[in-house]
Amino acid sequence: MKLSRVLTFLFGAALLFSSAAIAGEANKGTLRLSENVVIQGKALNPGKYTVEWDGSGPTVQVTLLSGKDKVATFPAHLTEQASPNVQDAYGTAAEPNGSRSLTAIYLGGKRLALQIDQNQASK
């Protein structure tokens, strides 16, 4: 009897910790830039960035990291795609000064896209 309680407790604890680890990875992805882009007036050089976001509703707070350094934080709209994105991708728009602003982040292997509201991201 005691052994079954201990095993049940251990199984429950393992399940709890594994679901927390999976949930932590669910709000994370990778962004690989192949060109210079601008977000919030900050220039991002080509390279690999980690994308993390907080929130589960349509509006989330996105943080871009280069290594462990926070590069930018901005609001975005989390949208669901019809099918999983084949690979990491992003969208840009041309600015009047010739630069390219980041407008969307598509996370590879996920059915999610982060649509960046340019009016709020530039604040």
**Digit-coded pLDDT (tens) for 61-81:** 999 999 999 999 999 999 999
In DSSP terms, which residues pair with 42 in a beta bridge?
39
| pLDDT reading at 18 higher than 90 | no
Q: How many domains does the chain have?
A: 1
Q: Is the pLDDT of residue 19 over 90?
A: no
- 88 located within any domain: yes
User: Is 76 part of a structural domain of the chain?
Assistant: yes
Closest by CA to 42, choosing from 57, 64, 17, is 64
- Is 7's pLDDT higher than 60? no
Residue-number span of the structural domain to which 39 is assigned? 28-121
Q: Which residues pair with 61 in a beta bridge?
A: 54, 75
